[in-house]
Amino acid sequence: MSDIQNLPMARAINAGLRKAMTADDKVLLMGEDIGTLGGVFRVTEGLQTEFGKGRVIDTPLAESGIVGTAIGLAMRGYRPVVEIQFDGFIFPGFNQITTQLAKLTNRHEGQIQMPVVIRVPYGGHIGAVEHHQESPEALFAHTAGLRLVSPSNPNDAYWMIQEAIASNDPVMFFEPKSRYWHKGDVELDASAAPLHATRVVREGTEVTVLGHGAMINVLLAAADIAAEEGTSIEVIDLRSISPIDYGPILESVRKTGRLVVASEAPGFVSVSSEIAATVTEQAFYSLESPVIRVTGFDTPFPPAKVETIYLPDADRVLEAVDRALAY
Amino acid sequence: MSYTEATVQLLSPEGSIVTSDLSAEYLPYIERLTDEQLRDFHRQMVVVRRFDQEGTNLQRQGQMGLWVPSVGQEGAQVGSGFAARAQDHIFPAYREHAVARIRGVDLIDIVRLLRGVTHGGWNPADHGNFHLYTLVIGAHTLHATGYAMGIALDGKSGTGNPETDEAVMVYFGDGATSQGDVNEAMVFAASFQTPEVFFLQNNHWAISVPVTTQSRTPLYLRPSGFGIRGIQIDGNDVLASYAVTAKNLDDARGGAGPRFIEALTYRIGAHTSSDDPTKYRDDAELHYWEARDPIIRFEAYLRSRGEGDAFFASVNEEAEDFAADIRRRTLELPTPPASLIFDHVYSEQHPVIDEQKAWLSAYEASFDANGGVA
């Protein structure tokens, strides 16, 4: 009989971290306020008490320092899991992530590995101040040497954090912070999919809509509304941002003939653009309409009182679905 | 920014031992050295200077894209390099050719880097724990500090056993001291009391910008603000470099926490082969430092101890042979295959890399041997 627990995503990640730390004593956590406080989102709550200050390290307040020393620890044989406190605070660590972490395996011509996980709470919907609601994943997806993933639900979060830690390559683990406290069933016995697998989360026949992280909740709501109006939407959860698992995407597009790609991030030079271009190249004759992007605007993330206008919601997704169907 | 009252010097520019309150603590480290070890100091400095000259020649002849000379800094490098124990880990910047050789790196590996055959390509574990050069200024100081945090977590420092306790030494320059990463490295090192020596070679110039633009205070005073003890040495004095580094590495290995050494030296040559120092510095300064050359003074010291012409001639001959061997092997270096572009981007399978590698292979195969399309 399988063991299932109903957990919010933050607790699911906490449970996944605990399991990885129990399985391998080289796994350690580093970040600002993650120890005594348990992290500003409490994702690491209780872990320092359980594993000690040598395995759950409260660091000085310096993102480059955190990532740079995590690299050194990985060279020593550790498997550091770094927490960046908020998406918009990752940039002081950008150099260490892109010029060092991403390139060190290549610089050593494969003779060393960089099993470092960088956890990044990201995205909007929480009404926060500047730098606390951004979606910077495209900036990292453009850098060779990194792997990027983002779970949309507690079960994926529980398994994907463990799979990310097990990877011998650096993995950026984008956590949709607006989903931290939403519960879902977590299957504790077996992972449903590998780390880089894209999955169909709702089957449909007329239009495929695709996204990742918190956007999945929006896409599922849009699919419900569309169903009431008689339109059948297939929803795909990207899960892996780099590399992208195109198999299920192309299969779906060949079935529906229409694709809407949605993200909170700005659309210009984005993960959404990349998917639109590749699907156009590889499924051109299956498409009944152009691939349409529904994204954040190409502006800075706005003040919280207008964020709901900036962030794509079910209505904006459905407006794009209608445009796709009109071709 | 030159010598201060705090500068530790064991060997004067004229080549005689300096006895002073500052040197007293370190002279015992010199007294333990054997004649053969002292000869080795000279041998390494001379061979690496000749290697440097050959590197410049090869670059000028189009055999390398770039050369990074270390001429003038041999004293700082050879002394500190010999002070480290085999179990220590060394994180260089990108000019530490002498330290590389002392740690057992075949210097053709430095040539490979600057010729464009590799971005690095060696495993530190097989190369005397000498890590790869890092070209983003100061970025590696954090890797060194993280590595040293790992040593402490492993319980491999501070046990009181100098044969097994480990430490890290990280090299950087005066320009790097302005970088955030170097300052963050000192913050982390102090917070976690890492077994680590920060070894600053102050060669007075960051390409064209003088050290006085980087700092209005002597750089050895900076670490005190981080809670780290700083010591300034005459970096052109190989004996001071050896003794002070040995003492501070002993302290770090023994669990006393991080240490910082500022070695005052001078970049006699250009920043790189692409640089022209005559555009920004005057001859008087160059002559001042040429008169304090690390090799000249050490040769005078060895002669005062009875070393004769035959030894110095044999070292020069060894240096010539070494340079000739480097030249021959440089010209023989193979161009890497195109697969190098793809093979080590990730350590685990990656579909984009696989697809692009296969595409390039098919594309190249589509041309026939005569240059047309097959």
Which residues, in sequence order, are bridge partners of residue B262? B200, B232
**First CA to last CA across chain A, in angstroms?**
49
Q: Quick check: B136 and B357 in contact, CB under 8 A?
A: no
Return the number of other C-beta atoms located less than 10 Å from residue A51's C-beta.
Answer: 20
Mutate to test the interface with B, among A107, A142, A282 (most CBs of B within 10 A): A107
List the one residue out of B192, B265, B261, B195 whose CA is nearest residue B230: B261
- The H or E element spanning position B183 is helix B180-192
What order of strands is seen across the sheet that includes strand A27-31? A56-58, A27-31, A79-83, A117-122, A171-176, A147-149, A240-242
Largest Cα–Cα separation, chain B: 79
Which residues, in sequence order, are bridge partners of residue A117? A81, A171
What is the structure's pLDDT at A192?
A: 79
Rounded-to-integer distance, Cα A155 and Cα A144, Å? 28
All residues of chain B having their beta carbon less than 8 Å from the beta carbon of residue A78 are: 150, 153
pTM, two decimal places: 0.97
Could you read off the pLDDT of B138-184 as tens digits, one per residue?
999 999 999 999 999 999 999 999 999 999 999 999 999 999 999 99
| Beta carbons within 8 Å of B223's beta carbon, 6+ residues apart | B186, B198, B229, B230, B260
Of A69, A77, A112, the CB nearest to B188: A69
pLDDT tens, chain B, 374 aa long:
578 999 999 999 999 999 999 999 999 999 999 999 999 999 999 999 999 999 999 999 999 999 999 999 999 999 999 999 999 999 999 999 999 999 999 999 999 999 999 999 999 999 999 999 999 999 999 999 999 999 999 999 999 999 999 999 999 999 999 999 999 999 999 999 999 999 999 999 999 999 999 999 999 999 999 999 999 999 999 999 999 999 999 999 999 999 999 999 999 999 999 999 999 999 999 999 999 999 999 999 999 999 999 999 999 999 999 999 999 999 999 999 999 999 999 999 999 999 999 999 999 999 977 666 55
Could you read off the pLDDT of A50-95 as tens digits, one per residue?
999 999 999 999 999 999 999 999 999 999 999 999 999 999 999 9
The ipTM is 0.97
List the one residue out of B69, B75, B84, B73 whose CA is nearest residue B41: B75
All residues of chain A having their beta carbon less than 8 Å from the beta carbon of residue B345 are: 105-106, 144-145
Of A64, A112, A167, the CB nearest to B181: A64
- Quickly state the pLDDT bin for A191 (edges 50, 70, 90): confident
Q: Is A27 on the interface with B (CB under 8 A)?
A: no
Rounded-to-integer distance, Cα A283 and Cα A286, Å? 5
Please list the active-site residues of A: 132
State whether residue B344 is helix, strand or coil: coil
Return the number of other C-beta atoms located less than 10 Å from residue A191's C-beta.
Answer: 15
Instruction: List the beta strands (DSSP E) in chain B.
Output: 89-91, 168-173, 196-202, 205-206, 209-210, 229-234, 259-264
Show which residues on chain B lie within 8 Å of chain A, measured between beta carbons.
Answer: 118-124, 131-132, 134, 136, 139, 141-151, 153-154, 180-181, 184-185, 187-188, 191, 340, 343-348, 350-352
Mutate to test the interface with A, among B347, B349, B354 (most CBs of A within 10 A): B347
Of A28, A72, A113, the CB nearest to B347: A113
3-state secondary structure chain A: CCCEEEEEHHHHHHHHHHHHHHHCCCEEEEECCCCCCCCCCCCCCCHHHHHCCCCEEECCCCHHHHHHHHHHHHHCCCEEEEECCCHHHCHHHHHHHHHHHCCHHHHCCCCCCCCCEEEEEECCCCCCCCCCCCCCHHHHHCCCCCEEECCCCHHHHHHHHHHHHHCCCCEEEEEEHHHCCCEEEEECCCCCCCCCCCEEEECCCCEEEEECCCHHHHHHHHHHHHHHCCCCEEEEECCEEECCCHHHHHHHHHHHCCEEEEEEEECCCCHHHHHHHHHHHHCHHHCCCCCEEEEECCCCCCCHHHHHHHCCCHHHHHHHHHHHHHC
Q: Residue A312's Cα: distance from chain center in Å? A: 17
Q: Quick check: A40 and A176 in contact, CB under 8 A?
A: no
Q: Which domains, from first to last, does chain A contain?
A: 4-187 (3.40.50.970), 199-326 (3.40.50.920)
List the one residue out of A222, A236, A301 whose CA is nearest residue A272: A236
Q: Quick check: B99 and B128 in contact, CB under 8 A?
A: no
State whether residue B196 is helix, strand or coil: strand
Rounded-to-integer distance, Cα A302 and Cα A134, Å? 10
All residues of chain B having their beta carbon less than 8 Å from the beta carbon of residue A103 are: 119
- A64: burial class by Cβ within 10 Å (0-12, 13-18, 19+)? buried
